[in-house]
Amino acid sequence: MPKSAPEAASIAPEVLAKYEAVIGLEVHVQLLTRTKIFCGCSTRFGDPPNTNVCPICLGLPGTLPVLNKRAVEMAMRAALALNCTVHDHSRFARKNYFYPDLPKGYQISQYELPLATGGWLEVEVAGAKKRVGITRLHLEEDAAKNLHEGFSQSATKAYIDYNRCGTPLIEIVSEPDMRVPEEAYAYLTELRQIMLYTGVSDCNMEEGSLRCDANVSVRPRGSKEFGTKVEVKNLNSFRFLQRAIEYEKNRQIDVLESGGRIAQETRLWNQAEGYTVSMRSKEKAHDYRYFPEPDLLPVHISSAWREEVRRTLPELPEARRTRFVNSYGITPYDVELLTATRTISQYFEDVVAAGAPGKAASNWILNELIGLLSDRKKPFQDSPPPEALAELLRMIESKQITAAVGKKVFATMFESGRTAAEIVASEGLGAQVSDRAIEQAAREIIAKNPDNVAKFKSGNEGVFKFFVGQVMKATRGQANPQAVNDILRKLLSS
């Protein structure tokens, strides 16, 4: 029986310190194609069960798959962004096994000749950068989905939704280069960001478009040999990933410390209980009897096509982060947040391009904008146009309004869609903030016009309009006339 969580967690720190974990990740990413990989059925998520199916994806006899070119192109994009070599020739293979969610009795995947190999990505944990190797990236079709709940006879019957069957996936296998759960977390975070930036997937973990399994083993610190590895499945959130690897590492150390031996097996992470349980032994694992898929031609990728795809790659997250730190003087922590998605970082660039200072744009997006969006539970797409935020930031920069008033203006802009200048003018907000500026302008004008001051003091009320006009002119008409009146009266009668 597997050790339960409390025992594994109660290992002494000095015992834990004797070992190190060796971690590799296998990540499945659903590609954002409109149609499936071998037929024209829609890949849309959330449609009624079994409405996006045809004889090909249902695996009926006599049908032939046709490869979706867009899926190959997206897989290539992902591979190039991960620094992989995309091979001229690759080939699909049949992975044979029987399961109800796989109507053909085999999955079309890639085996001996994958699309791409030999890449890497860089992760950063506690300020230390590290390269994690990527062994391979291959294309395959997804299986259908078993629905265990929510139907009238769920207790006694299995329900299967074949809509997902045949959706294009890429499987990305890392080298066993990670040593602590935090590195695995950083790897998956970076990988997800690259997939989002390149637009190959929406990486929605809740909808299953990003799935992760971990291979975990432990060995005495300093040893070069690998221990027996265990595959941990069902890591469907970033938090689970870290917890599950931590748990599994401790469990294996506990087994070794009590004189046991690690069984090569697949274990399932049970999030509710917080431990992994044995699912099946790898020693008894079935042989998939891979063989080249006879119904599909080998995949040939010309260097012209590969280079064309390479040219269309966007700036990747790491390059963008470095550029933001260097060009705008934003802290690495803020840059991390600002580049979390391509949409946010592009919005930032558009605000700066429209004339806002970089540092101020970053602060406003990360504090005011994100705050307003989350308060009102709105998506980022509902942000004011970048030009509108830039105008507001320029008004603050030129001291037409204070930052405090700017926040009020921004909230109004967010609700009404009106521009900052309109809001400031119609609500007299410019005046509120520039009381000091009005007073300064008024003092200067009074000092320059001793004759008119004398006239006013001798009872010539008409000359007051002259002063108001001059102050309004000096404040470019932005001041609140009432405030100008009040301030002038106070100064002239003192």
Contact between 143 and Zn ion by CB under 5 A: the answer reads no
Which tokens in the block code for residue 69? 């070119």
How many residues sit in the footprint of Zn ion (CB under 5 A)?
Answer: 5
116, amino acid identity: A
Phi and psi, residue 171, nearest 5°: -110, 130
H/E run at residue 81 = helix 69-81
For residues 379 to 418, the per-residue mask of contacts with Zn ion, x marking binding by CB under 5 A and - elsewhere, is ----------------------------------------
Contact between 125 and Zn ion by CB under 5 A: the answer reads no
Residue number with CB closer to Zn ion (142 or 254): 142
Residue number with CB closer to Zn ion (41 or 235): 41
Residue number with CB closer to Zn ion (161 or 254): 161
Residue number with CB closer to Zn ion (68 or 434): 68
User: DSSP of 205-266, one letter per residue?
Assistant: TTTTSEEEEEEEEEEETT--S----EEEE---SHHHHHHHHHHHHHHHHHHHHTT-----EE
CA 207 to chain centroid, in Å, comes to 15
Tell me the window of 32-40, 147-155, 387-395, 411-419 that interacts with Zn ion (CB under 5 A): 32-40
Least distance to Zn ion, CB of residue 56, Å: 5
Residue number with CB closer to Zn ion (42 or 432): 42
Q: Which of residues 64-83 bind Zn ion (CB under 5 A)?
A: none
Residue number with CB closer to Zn ion (144 or 393): 144
- In the chain the first and final C-alpha atoms are separated, in Å, by 91
Closest CA to 257 of 10, 424, 5, 6: 10
Among 29, 37, 39, 438, binds Zn ion (CB under 5 A): 39
Least distance to Zn ion, CB of residue 162, Å: 9
The 10 Å CB-count burial string (b at 16+, else e) for 300-337 is ebeeeebeebeeebeebbbebbeebeeebebeeebbbe
What count of Cα atoms within 13 Å lies in the side-chain half-sphere of residue 251?
A: 27
Tell me the window of 31-39, 75-83, 293-301, 425-433 that interacts with Zn ion (CB under 5 A): 31-39
Tell me the window of 46-54, 223-231, 243-251, 419-427 that interacts with Zn ion (CB under 5 A): 46-54
CB 266 within 8 A of CB 233: yes
270, amino acid identity: N
What is the strand order of the sheet 92-96 is part of? 106-110, 92-96, 291-292
Residue number with CB closer to Zn ion (42 or 485): 42
Contact between 93 and Zn ion by CB under 5 A: the answer reads no
Least distance to Zn ion, CB of residue 57, Å: 3
Q: How many contiguous H segments (helices) and E segments (strands) does the chain have?
A: 19, 16
Residue number with CB closer to Zn ion (143 or 253): 143
Least distance to Zn ion, CB of residue 294, Å: 20
Phi and psi, residue 19, nearest 5°: -115, 160
Measured CA distances, 354 to 339, 382, 391, 399 (Å): 19, 18, 8, 18
Tell me the window of 40-48, 399-407, 425-433, 452-460 that interacts with Zn ion (CB under 5 A): 40-48
* Three-state DSSP state, 392: helix
Least distance to Zn ion, CB of residue 44, Å: 13
CB 119 within 8 A of CB 137: yes
Residue number with CB closer to Zn ion (56 or 396): 56
Contact between 41 and Zn ion by CB under 5 A: the answer reads yes
Q: Which residues pair with residue 27 across a beta bridge?
A: 172, 212
Least distance to Zn ion, CB of residue 51, Å: 11
Tell me the window of 37-45, 75-83, 389-397, 451-459 that interacts with Zn ion (CB under 5 A): 37-45
CB 210 within 8 A of CB 142: no
Cα–Cα–Cα angle for 324, 137, 66, rounded to 5 degrees? 115
Among 32, 54, 491, 492, binds Zn ion (CB under 5 A): 54
Contact between 57 and Zn ion by CB under 5 A: the answer reads yes
**Crossing angle for the helix pair 69-81 and 181-197, nearest 10 degrees?**
130
Tell me the window of 34-42, 106-114, 339-347, 412-420 that interacts with Zn ion (CB under 5 A): 34-42
Tell me the window of 21-29, 47-55, 256-264, 301-309 that interacts with Zn ion (CB under 5 A): 47-55
Residue number with CB closer to Zn ion (57 or 210): 57
Residue number with CB closer to Zn ion (34 or 448): 34
Taking residue 382's Cβ as centre, other Cβ atoms within 10 Å add up to 11
Least distance to Zn ion, CB of residue 38, Å: 8
Tell me the window of 48-56, 67-75, 221-229, 385-393 that interacts with Zn ion (CB under 5 A): 48-56
Residue number with CB closer to Zn ion (59 or 208): 59
Least distance to Zn ion, CB of residue 277, Å: 35
In the complex, the residues that contact Zn ion under the rule CB under 5 A are 39, 41, 54, 56-57
